[in-house]
């Protein structure tokens, strides 16, 4: 996408150099406006290792000029019991499979490569690092960002892409409580090449209380696997002292290759996260400021779609601001509203579904667990929810992402 769109050139500030911030900057630049990302850390650093992306964010990335050639391993996704019974097959439309590859192009990758490729597509100077924003203000004429080092920056529009603990969200809408999912996940990756068994697969398996999953990945021309185990926890409890040992213990009840993958993973490639979100915001934008990504709709990894939705948000913000005179407050308000309105039902659906799935798989009362598993094993319930409905819902976005 080139920055050749005619129209008044405004100034857009983006707070946060994660997937939402980078995508917003790429799309806003493509819309012909001047854009700067302010990131508190010395670099735009990936928060974590494992990642899967659906086709809509891939399409948005391509349209924004990101090189998606050989990015990630396209995977066919299946939900199985820990004993290997297939409970649901994620079905994408044939045309999506044709265009995006195996399984409809749910790709397995490592986060650093996504960041590198997005950064490579940004014009020089857009990303400004070591810029901790402490306060923001807006009036009818513009937005002011106040940095920890005492400097300020002025812009016509601000996009808060500053994650689950967003300062921008808090400033606009006050504090909204964290919703603890009372779950944690331990994840890792390996390039061991003699594992044997299936490739090009994303296998999400559930035992009675633990999820044990793996997917093929492709990272900088190398093929490998990422895996994760997930269980209920007290969010206040200290992390296991040996993550690799805990993952090994949890992975034991699952079939090959999960236990092998965990064993073959170097301990430094193992990480842990506590799962939480922040519930739902009815309104994202106020005046000249809006929100994107986790700042607007923090999402549990159970959706495997938080980064994907963040990239989509960025794409739609650029499209909404294209050709808009950013000095005109009424025009800005209208543009930001036209961005957020269609995003809200889609992102709410994903946030809610991710939360519900986590509760259903890990917090069902003990006496109900065998009944739940019987339903999953013997009825089309799971196929309907995660195999048919959800990919359709996600792939509806593909049609909306057009050049």
Ligand X SMILES: Cc1cc2nc3c(=O)[nH]c(=O)nc-3n(C[C@H](O)[C@H](O)[C@H](O)COP(=O)(O)OP(=O)(O)OC[C@H]3O[C@@H](n4cnc5c(N)ncnc54)[C@H](O)[C@@H]3O)c2cc1C
Residues that bind ligand X (CB under 6 A): 15-21, 38-41, 47-48, 50-53, 131-133, 161-163, 167, 185, 187, 273, 293-295, 299, 301, 304-308, 310
CA distance 222 to 145: 41
Q: 75 or 335: whose CB is closer to ligand X?
A: 75
| Shortest spacing between CB 291 and ligand X, in angstroms | 9
The burial of 150, by beta-carbon neighbours within 10 Å (0-12 exposed, 13-18 middle, 19 or more buried), is given as: exposed
Q: How many CB atoms lie within 10 A of CB 21?
A: 29
| Shortest spacing between CB 80 and ligand X, in angstroms | 18
Q: 288 or 373: whose CB is closer to ligand X?
A: 288
CA distance 364 to 168: 36
| Shortest spacing between CB 91 and ligand X, in angstroms | 19
Provide the sign of the torsion angle of the four alpha carbons 296, 297, 301, 305, taken in this order. negative
User: 46 near 119, Cβ under 8 Å?
Assistant: no
Q: 257 or 314: whose CB is closer to ligand X?
A: 314
| Shortest spacing between CB 328 and ligand X, in angstroms | 28
Q: 14 or 88: whose CB is closer to ligand X?
A: 14
Q: 18 or 224: whose CB is closer to ligand X?
A: 18
Provide the sign of the torsion angle of the four alpha carbons 172, 177, 181, 186, taken in this order. positive
Question: To which residue do tokens 């779950």 refer?
Answer: 183
Q: 307 or 336: whose CB is closer to ligand X?
A: 307
| Shortest spacing between CB 148 and ligand X, in angstroms | 8
| Shortest spacing between CB 272 and ligand X, in angstroms | 8
- Check whether the bond before 257 is cis (ω within 30° of 0): yes
| Shortest spacing between CB 68 and ligand X, in angstroms | 15
Q: 153 or 288: whose CB is closer to ligand X?
A: 153
DSSP per-residue letters across 52-113: EE-HHHHHHHHHTT---TT-SEEEEEEEEETT--EEEE----HHHHHHH-HHHHEEEEEHHH
Q: Which of 321, 319, 196, 317 is nearest to 261 (CA)?
A: 196
| Shortest spacing between CB 309 and ligand X, in angstroms | 7
| Shortest spacing between CB 189 and ligand X, in angstroms | 12
CA-to-CA separations, 144 to 36, 159, 193, in angstroms, rounded: 13, 12, 52
Residue 161 tokens read as 């892409």
User: 388 near 87, Cβ under 8 Å?
Assistant: no
Q: 47 or 89: whose CB is closer to ligand X?
A: 47
CA distance 341 to 335: 10
| Shortest spacing between CB 300 and ligand X, in angstroms | 8
Q: 290 or 299: whose CB is closer to ligand X?
A: 299
Question: To which residue do tokens 């499209």 refer?
Answer: 319
Q: 207 or 308: whose CB is closer to ligand X?
A: 308
Question: To which residue do tokens 């504090």 refer?
Answer: 175
The burial of 151, by beta-carbon neighbours within 10 Å (0-12 exposed, 13-18 middle, 19 or more buried), is given as: exposed
């Amino acid at each position: 996408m080139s920055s050749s769109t005619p129209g008044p050139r405004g100034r857009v500030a983006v707070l946060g150099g994660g997937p939402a911030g980078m995508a917003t900057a790429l799309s806003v630049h493509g819309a012909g406006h001047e854009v700067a990302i302010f990131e508190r850390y010395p670099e735009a650093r990936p928060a974590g290792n494992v990642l899967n992306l659906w086709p809509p964010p891939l399409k948005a990335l391509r349209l924004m000029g990101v090189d998606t050639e050989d990015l990630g391993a396209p995977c066919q996704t299946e939900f199985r019991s820990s004993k290997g019974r297939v409970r649901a097959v994620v079905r994408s439309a044939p045309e999506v499979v044709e265009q995006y590859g195996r399984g409809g192009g749910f790709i397995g990758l490592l986060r650093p490569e996504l960041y590198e490729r997005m950064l490579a597509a940004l014009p020089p100077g857009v990303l400004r690092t070591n810029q901790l924003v402490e306060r923001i203000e807006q009036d009818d004429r513009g937005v002011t960002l106040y940095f920890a080092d005492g400097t300020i920056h002025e812009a016509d529009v601000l996009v808060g892409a500053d994650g689950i603990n967003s300062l921008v969200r808090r400033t606009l809408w006050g504090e909204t409580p964290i919703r603890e999912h009372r779950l944690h996940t331990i994840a890792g990756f390996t390039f061991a090449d003699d594992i044997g068994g299936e490739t090009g697969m994303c296998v999400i398996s559930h035992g009675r209380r633990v999820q044990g999953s793996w997917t093929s990945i492709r990272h900088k021309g190398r093929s490998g696997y990422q895996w994760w185990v997930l269980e209920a926890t007290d969010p206040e409890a200290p992390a296991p002292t040996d993550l690799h040992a805990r993952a090994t213990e949890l992975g034991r009840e699952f079939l090959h290759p999960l236990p092998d993958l965990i064993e073959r993973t170097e301990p430094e490639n193992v990480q842990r996260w506590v799962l939480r979100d922040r519930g739902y915001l009815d309104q994202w934008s106020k005046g000249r400021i809006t929100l994107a990504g986790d700042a607007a709709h923090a999402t549990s990894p159970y959706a495997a779609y938080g980064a994907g939705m963040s990239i989509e948000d960025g794409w739609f913000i650029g499209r909404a601001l294209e050709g808009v005179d950013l000095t005109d407050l009424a025009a800005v308000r209208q543009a930001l509203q036209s961005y957020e309105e269609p995003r809200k039902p889609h992102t709410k659906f994903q946030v809610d579904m991710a939360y519900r799935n986590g509760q259903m798989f890990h917090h069902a009362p003990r006496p109900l667990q065998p009944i739940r598993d019987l339903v999953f094993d013997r009825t089309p319930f799971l196929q309907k929810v995660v195999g048919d409905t959800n990919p359709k819902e996600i792939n509806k976005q593909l049609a909306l992402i057009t050049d």
